[in-house]
Amino acid sequence: MKPTVLYSEEEIDRRVRDLGTEIGKTYTGEEICLVGLMKGCLIFMADMMRAIPLEMSCHYLRAVTQQEGSGSMTTEIVYSADIPYEGKHIVLLDDIIDTGITLSFLLDHIQERNPRSLKVCALIDKPSDRKIDVQPDWSAFTIREPLDYIVGYGLAYDEQFRGLPFLGTIPRPARPAEGRKIILSSQG
């Protein structure tokens, strides 16, 4: 299966540089703490680290969504207690904001740690898929219409296509109709 190109390598590079400049202007003269939601934002985070002209520390969170035998979805968030949120300017990087469920959960837990500020930068914002009203402060691309499954530039389907230099689409796999559970794990 060959993905159809949605955004080229050049378009992504241009948007990442623009976002880096915008974030740099927002926090002029400040240090930020970049927190990436793995694995999908791995490449996006690496490029953003180079594009933001500020001093920064970098940390990772991991969210894994699995389909259970009953057809329901379970999202496990590995939330690291050793990330120094308190008093810091936190920029949370996410690959795709669709339902907003995982992002809302993370924002609530990070806010409990009293950051100086907390903003969200997404590679892709899909507002038409929202179940919870959360909005990114910045997004590289906004997709308003339903699309096939998005892959490339760090995004994968069944661990394939992650290394593509562009964002593309493949036919959407069937999704379960059941509910979703979120499990919080803590490390550190």
**Catalytic pick among 47, 94, 95, 98:** 98
Contact predicate 104/37, CB 8 Å: no
Q: How far is it, in rounded angstroms, from Cα 52 to Cα 23?
A: 7
Q: How far is it, in rounded angstroms, from Cα 153 to Cα 166?
A: 6
Contact predicate 23/139, CB 8 Å: no
10 Å CB burial of residue 49 (0-12, 13-18, 19+) is: middle
**Going by DSSP bridges, is the β-strand pair 73-80/180-187 parallel, antiparallel, or unpaired?**
parallel
Instruction: Tell me if residue 98 is catalytic.
Output: yes
Q: Tell me if residue 79 falls in helix, strand or coil.
A: strand
Contact predicate 93/20, CB 8 Å: no
**Percentages (nearest 5) of helix, strand, coil residues in the chain:** 20, 40, 40
Catalytic residue annotation: 98
